[in-house]
Amino acid sequence: DAGITQSPRHKVTETGTPVTLRCHQTENHRYMYWYRQDPGHGLRLIHYSYGVKDTDKGEVSDGYSVSRSKTEDFLLTLESATSSQTSVYFCAIRSGPYTDTQYFGPGTRLTVL
């Protein structure tokens, strides 16, 4: 257990509405990540953070923004949700400075109608 929680765990929203997903960690890890999981695609990186206010894009960042104002919280925002953003979203942390091993939260299932 890497002390990662995600909220909400499930959300249904309508096209065009803004949505924010929250990732919270309790162990002061520097690196945090947002992924989406879709059938046939595995896990794809959306954005990641390497410190407070330090973020960078992943491979599928279009339509998403992130913010990290505190070490423990990493927020993912869909400014105007689309049906193609229906997915399961996972947050992860990197377990230490000398390893690339990541540990994942329980996920948020988002449905955009």
Q: Which is nearer to another protein, 43 or 52 (CB)?
A: 43
CA gyration radius, the chain: 13
Closest approach of another protein to the CB of residue 35, in Å: 8
Q: Which is nearer to another protein, 48 or 112 (CB)?
A: 48
DSSP 15: T
Could you tell me which residues are beta bridge partners of residue 102?
94
Using the rule CB under 8 A, is 63 a contact of another protein? no
**Measured between alpha carbons, how far is 71 from 69 in angstroms, rounded to an integer?**
7
Q: Which is nearer to another protein, 50 or 83 (CB)?
A: 50
Which residues of the chain form contacts with another protein (CB under 8 A)? 4, 31, 33, 35, 40-45, 48, 50, 58, 90, 94, 100-107
